[in-house]
C-alpha cells in the first residue's frame, strides 16, 4: 500500500513493484532502502530480501513435503498425498525420457526441482496483492518502523534477479556438461566449426556464440516477463476497488476471471522452464 500522502494510482503501482532491499547506502550505511531511488544507490550488491525469503521458504516447503511423503510411502493402497507426488514425478520422468537421450542421473531430479519450485513461486501471484504486504506493514508498525517505507513483493519470479539466477545455473550446467562430454576441443569446435565449416569460422563463432548466450537470456526473460505482466494486471484490477459498488463488483469479476486464466499461465511457465532445461542439457550431451 502506498502512503496516505501519495495514495495515487501511480504511487500504488510503484509501491507494489518495489522490492524490500537491504544494502550498503553511500550515506546511510547498511540499511533497508526507503525508496526505489535509495535501492538503486546501494548498487549491485544490494539484496532483495523479499525475493530471497519467499524463494527459500517455498523451496523449503517443497523439500519438506516431498520428504514427508517419501518417508511414509507404501506399496499398498497409496494415500492422496502419495498419489499426488507420484503423479508429479511420473509427469517429470515422462518429459525427461521424451526429451533427454543421454544418461545423467542429475537431469530428472533437476527437472523435478525446477518444475515444482518455479510453479510454487509463480503460484504466489494468485495471493491477493494487498494481503501479505499489508499484514507485513502492520507487523512493521508494531516494531516502530514506518509502514509507508516497507516494501514487499511476494512473487519471486517477478524479480529478474531470481529468474536470471536460475537460468545462469542452468547455463553453467550446460557449459560444464558440454566440456565434460565433448572435451574442450569438441566444445570449442562446436562454437567455431558449425554450421559453415572451417572456412566460415568468424561467422560460426558469432552465430553459435549468440545461440549459446541466448539460452539463459530467453529462459529468464520469458519467465520474468509473463509473471511480471500477470502481477501488473492484478495490481491494476485492485485499483478498481473502493470507487463504488458497480466498479468494485466489476473488479471482483475481472480478478476471478484473470486468476482462473492465470492458473494456466503459471503452470505453463514452470513447464516451459523445465522442458527447455532438459532440452539444453540434452544438446550438451550430443557428441556431434
C-alpha grid cell, residue 279: 532440452
Q: Closest Cα to residue 188, out of 174, 205, 202?
A: 205
For residue 286, which of 211, 182, 174, 192 has the smallest C-alpha distance?
182
Spatial separation of the C-alpha atoms in residues 240 and 250, rounded to whole Å: 8
* Rounded alpha-carbon distances, angstroms, from residue 87 to 71, 78, 82, 121: 17, 12, 8, 20
Peptide bond into 9 cis (omega under 30): no
Least Cα distance to 223 among 281, 172, 276 occurs for 276
At residue 30, the 3 state secondary structure works out as: strand
Active site residues: 218, 222, 226
Sign of CA dihedral 276, 281, 284, 286: negative
Amino acid at each position: 500500500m502506498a502512503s496516505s500522502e501519495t495514495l495515487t494510482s501511480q504511487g500504488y503501482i510503484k509501491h507494489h513493484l518495489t522490492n524490500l532491499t537491504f544494502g550498503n547506502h553511500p550515506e546511510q550505511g547498511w540499511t533497508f532502502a526507503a525508496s526505489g531511488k535509495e535501492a538503486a544507490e546501494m548498487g549491485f550488491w544490494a539484496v532483495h530480501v523479499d525475493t530471497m525469503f519467499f524463494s527459500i521458504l517455498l523451496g523449503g516447503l517443497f523439500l519438506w513435503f516431498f520428504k514427508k511423503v517419501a518417508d511414509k510411502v507404501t506399496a499398498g493402497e497409496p494415500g492422496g498425498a502419495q498419489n499426488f507426488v507420484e503423479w508429479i514425478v511420473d509427469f517429470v520422468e515422462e518429459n525427461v525420457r521424451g526429451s533427454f537421450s543421454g544418461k545423467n542421473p542429475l537431469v530428472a531430479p533437476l527437472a523435478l526441482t525446477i518444475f515444482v519450485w518455479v510453479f510454487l513461486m509463480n503460484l504466489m501471484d494468485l495471493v491477493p496483492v494487498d494481503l501479505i504486504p499489508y499484514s507485513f506493514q502492520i507487523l512493521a508498525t508494531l516494531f516502530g518502523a514506518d509502514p509507508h517505507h516497507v516494501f514487499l513483493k511476494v512473487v519471486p519470479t517477478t524479480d529478474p534477479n531470481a529468474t536470471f539466477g536460475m537460468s545462469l545455473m542452468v547455463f553453467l550446467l550446460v557449459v560444464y556438461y558440454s566440456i565434460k562430454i565433448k572435451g574442450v576441443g569438441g566444445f570449442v569446435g562446436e562454437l567455431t566449426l558449425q554450421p559453415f565449416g572451417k572456412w566460415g569460422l568468424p561467422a560460426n563463432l558469432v552465430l553459435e556464440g549468440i545461440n549459446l548466450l541466448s539460452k539463459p537470456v530467453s529462459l529468464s526473460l520469458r519467465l520474468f516477463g509473463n509473471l511480471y505482466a500477470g502481477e501488473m494486471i492484478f495490481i491494476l484490477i485492485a485499483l478498481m476497488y473502493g470507487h463504488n459498488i458497480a466498479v468494485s463488483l466489476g473488479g471482483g469479476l475481472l480478478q476471478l476471471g484473470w486468476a482462473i486464466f492465470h492458473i494456466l499461465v503459471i503452470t505453463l511457465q514452470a513447464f516451459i522452464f523445465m522442458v527447455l532445461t532438459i532440452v539444453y542439457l540434452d544438446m550438451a550431451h550430443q557428441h556431434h
